[in-house]
Structure 1
Amino acid sequence: MANDATPDPFAPATLGPVRLRNRIIKAATSEGRSPKGLVTEELIDFHRRYVDGGVGMTTLAYCCVAPEGASAPGQILMSRDAIPGLRRFTDSMHEGGAAVSAQLGHAGVVASKKVTGATPMAPSRYFNPSSMQYCRGISTAEIARVVDQFGAAADVAVQSGFDAVELHFGHLYLPSSFLSPKLNRRKDSYGGSIDDRSRFVREIARRVRETVGDKIAVIAKISMDDGVRGSIWLTESLRTAQLLDQDANLDAIELTQGSSVLRQMYLFRGDVPVDEFAAVMPQPLKAGVRMFGKQMMGQYPYRDLYMLESARQFVPLMRSTKLILLGGITNHDHLVTGLREGFEFVAMARALLREPDLIRRMMDDPSVRSRCNHCNKCMVTVFGRTHCVLDPQQRYRKPAAADFAAGHPVDMESR
């Protein structure tokens, strides 16, 4: 990307074998619109708002590679049964002129036995303080099975007409937890040094590339750091990204921060919606959240482009893999700044939840500013249907304590 001219974020761009109409990606956000784990018209309509609003590609959030990999009820399982609905979904996005990606994930530590019926898996035995449950250590044979599951899920994505898959290697979900020295205390070839702890994500990326070939783009989402003491930080995530780049199995890496296990506000920044979270939780969690919610989730002030300082460290390391910037991108100046810094694409979520047509409006008037005020009350709507609470068109039922009890996670994936 030339630095001596103003880059155009609205110009077409190439991502692997895919041509996007512009460089803006709608980042994955939990949707809550597939109650039976299958595509619904409401889910299609939800994403069409962003497509009609001008994004180059939209991302279908958190599609499970295995039943035990679900992090919440109603998530889509990438199986043959899902293909007809997924095909309707991709056809609709393509009719709107945009590309579409499927986020593939295995929750691991973030999974709940209430949802899956199985004890969650981690690199090593671990107690998750958010779910108040123990996670068992995954065996070597199970690691190989998960690698196969990612490959099979990617094949479903190809058959369903997706233009890309996004491998969820962030937020301490199962692949990400292997990268954390806090969670990964293994003594075999998947533990120890960061090169060995990166083995699992590299194997997944290789299997997915072998499966899809050059039919679709392959993206990986990785946490640069997660805000948890003794866990993932830049010194090691830079090495993981370098190894993935050397393998050349990815077309792009989307850089994120934060964890779905601890200090969740490190991902979001801004206001901590303690009262709203407490309102949907059963006792005794309700009282605990009111008293200790801010301490548990962390308090981090919002600032524009808040991931850029860390993300720019990755730019000089990449030889063949493009980078996607997200975090606090709300206006045209932010888009241009990201491209000038060496990122090929930018991803947005909260600003688009507030205004799905924001990109079209920016195209018409570069001075347009997002109306998102970073209140983060959208985080609580994941217990029902994810939406901006300030949008009068989004009139969904108020989440109830039963929704939380059913095992919904705090992580909304939005930025």
Structure 2
Amino acid sequence: MATLLKTSEPAGTAVPVTIDDVYAAQQRIAGSIVRTPTLISKTLSELTGATVYLKFENLQFTAAYKERGALNTLLQLGSEKLSRGVIAASAGNHAQGLAYHGARLGVPVTIVMPRPTPTVKVQQTEGHRARVILHGETFDEAQTYAYALAAQEGLTFVPPFDHPHIIAGQGTLAVEMLADAPDIDTLVVPIGGGGLISGCSVVAKAQEKPIEVVGVQAELYPSMYARIKQLDLPSGGDSLAEGISVKEPGEITSAIVGQLVDDIVLVAERELERAVALLLQIEKTVVEGAGAAGLAALLAHPERFAGKTVGIVLCGGNIDTRLLANVLLRDLARSGRLARLRLRLKDRPGALFNVARVFDEQQVNIIEIYHQRVFTTLPAKGLITDIECETRDRAHLDRLVEALTEAGYEVTPVELA
């Protein structure tokens, strides 16, 4: 018979996780997880108008904070349950955290993932010796199957966020952060299902000095924001922050967030992309979309955090390398350092040479040239040329466009969405 972890207290009553639970979790998992650094970022502080501290949870062995709650849960299951094995439904960091510590402790781990899960995530989880089962097209279908398999094989289901042991484990992150940077007066924490912010808020509200807790969600998935504010908002779409793209937050976590979290803000995809790019360029650290959500909040709502001493959790660093490359290139395009210009030319000898001469005069590097003669509404002797180029900054790009216009060319920048 399956074992489903359940809380002893229903949501909506007393908070089922105390600061003592978090301290106990800290003692329990000490030495088995990385005590990641909390460092001030002078450049991001100047950029945002706040004093910014970063908690580098992307430096965990599996590159995400999820190890904390998973390990804290495993260590409280008892030998009988551990010997039978555990199971979870996850396509991301919870899967890897549970698989890694399960393998380290000799516990059989089964992970059910939706069939569309990227191959790299399947391989990473299997690399920790977990049995991976692909089932269903969505997370909900995978989770339903995981429950059924747990019952069939007598496995213990370990939830990704909605359990006191998970929440207490995630809260250890905030204990470390506030010990390393006691001047922090505001914690900015990403929200998916709510496990991380629940644990962090328990720690924050137990401090002698007041610490504000602000949650961050992607605009495409405002599930906790909508629940707390009693709004009917849709959740869906392809978000860069797939780690917090949760349609239904937890019941326990929602109750804790409702009691302890001071505010929740939403961020657009553009801010998430910019935050990922800035963290790589400025801090030389790779984060996934969810991991960049805290910085995205400061970029999107600077007046909200101006003058505060802010602690930002870089909660994960598992981002596909191709996606990261796209994000970086798009950021270069938005900043004017990379551009595509569309020019209308006459189809005659020397036309392209004359255009290239303007680029040379303005010291702009041409990367690619695309000639289009056939699929165009121009006359037969006309053509469209797209030129991808690299400039120093937006002002340099503006000078190039001005020079091309003065030379008699019709120029149209191809803009990003």
TM-score by length of 2: 0.31
Higher-helix-fraction structure: 2
Compare the two structures and name the one with the higher strand fraction: 2
Rg larger for: 2
